[in-house]
Amino acid sequence: MADRYDVVVIGGGPGGFRAARVAARRGASVALVEKQYLGGTCLNWGCIPSKALLAAAHALLAARHAAEMGLDIPSAAPNWPVIQQRKDAIVTGFRKGMAGSAKAHGFNVIPGRAVITAPERIEVQGESGNTSLEAGKIVIATGSETTLLPSIPVDGRTVITSTEALSLPSIPASMAIIGGGVIGCEMACVYAAMGTQVTIIEALDQLCPMTDQWVGRLLEREFKKLGINSLVSRKVASVDTSVAPARVALEDGTTLNAEKVLVSVGRRAVVDETVAALNLRMNGRVIAVNDKLETSVPGVYAIGDVVGTTYLAHGATAEGDVAAANATGADERMEDYDMVPRVIFTFPEVASVGKSERQCEQLGLSVTVGKAFFKANGRAVAHNALSGQARVIRDNATNNIVGITVVGEGATEYAPLASTLIGKPERVTKIIFPHPTVSEVIEDAVLDAVGPVLYGPPGL
């Protein structure tokens, strides 16, 4: 006999776990199937372990620059085994916390690999045997995996992915990072701070190509201060691991040597035989869904990386809220993906919400861009965090704020504040920014963009 549930969620990452919790809180009987660890890629091999390493790197850099603030710290050197132990302890702690949260919210976590055999039937392949489940509704949250390059085989020792990069046994003397996107740039900051000679190789013309060009240029300049060599508009032809260090050959004929070669060219949705029986409509390599997160099969929803909308943990949780609500009788929709904050935890950090300048140009919008700089902000200067700026985009036709980007230390913490300012410019007059705080760069950029609208032309 199959166990019957109102909702079965496949995948225990941020989106899947949120969907299970919301559905359970709405009174549904819920099972969450996870093939490996609760938390998925984000907790175990992504967001959380990388931030633990970045936190250590940030503290290390702060110690090295302490003399600039009048502090004498005799030495600042990384204790890599302790850094790794702390990272692992953080991950394990949150894993246990999620198991406790599932119990507290009243849904079952079933370990194993879920294979959908029919729109309402799932076989869970576990270590101790198979379990049959019947589901009133299904939420697919199977996530994504690292994109590999056929021409550059990963061996897990010399040529590695971000998974191995998070747990290297020692700090390498040198590292070549193929791909200057979010993961590549974050790992570059970690290892550069630890003393590794890092080179980023990016095929497109800037680091973090999904951002506006000024962001990529600013990051490239700041990375140089960390000792990171950024090679943009360059492609890797081959990697020779028969020599030590490995030899990386670029298409333009230049070569460089690296002890480790990190392949970081993006992620792709995990859509395999586990859901093949549904014959889902696809949008390229990702599952096609509507704004209610419904797939082409009634009663089946999909969220997170598997639908390819944001490839962000918080994007997946937002979709989990919507899918779980709809699977339990509501009528919710994902309305505006531009409002999902886009964050990068580099040195300095990057946070964007709303439209980018590039998007505005592509849409043919006439805009005014307001700017404010960290070096003119009292708190930022006091903290020796002078690098960065905030930009606010105003649509000249409506005078509405349509986008905000902040680059600088702690920028990711300001994304929720930035989100509240998207829309009518009068909203900024309702917020009193405490002084002195770094958040005032957002206020200054907003006023630079919408000042004439709110207060009239200068001099009047």
State the catalytic residues: 435
Residues shown for the chain: 460
State how far the Cα of 19 lies from the Cα of 31, in Å rounded to an integer: 11
The residue among 201, 196, 207 whose CA lies nearest residue 245 is 196
CA 413 to chain centre: 14
d(CA 192, CA 390): 25
**Sheet of strand 236-240, all strands in order from the earlier edge strand to the far edge:** 236-240, 246-250, 255-258
Q: How far apart are the first and last CA of the chain?
A: 79
Structure tokens at 435: 């002084």
8 A C-beta contact, residue 118 and residue 29: no
- Amino acid, single-letter form, for residue 105: H
What's the rounded Cα separation, in Å, for the pair 212 and 58?
A: 25
At residue 286, what is the residue type?
V
Give the contacts of 269 (CB within 8 A, at least 6 positions apart).
142, 143, 144, 285, 286, 287, 305, 306, 307, 308
CB atoms within 10 A of CB 203: 16
CA distance readout (Å), 324 to 7, 335, 378: 8, 16, 45
Cα distances from 283 to residues 279, 286, 296, 306, in angstroms, run 13, 5, 11, 11
DSSP 8-state symbol, 326: H
Tokens of residue 39, six digits: 């938390």
Cβ(422)–Cβ(403) under 8 Å? yes
According to DSSP, residue 129 is labeled: E
Antiparallel, parallel or unpaired: β 282-283 and 286-287: antiparallel
Tokens representing 385 are 């965090």
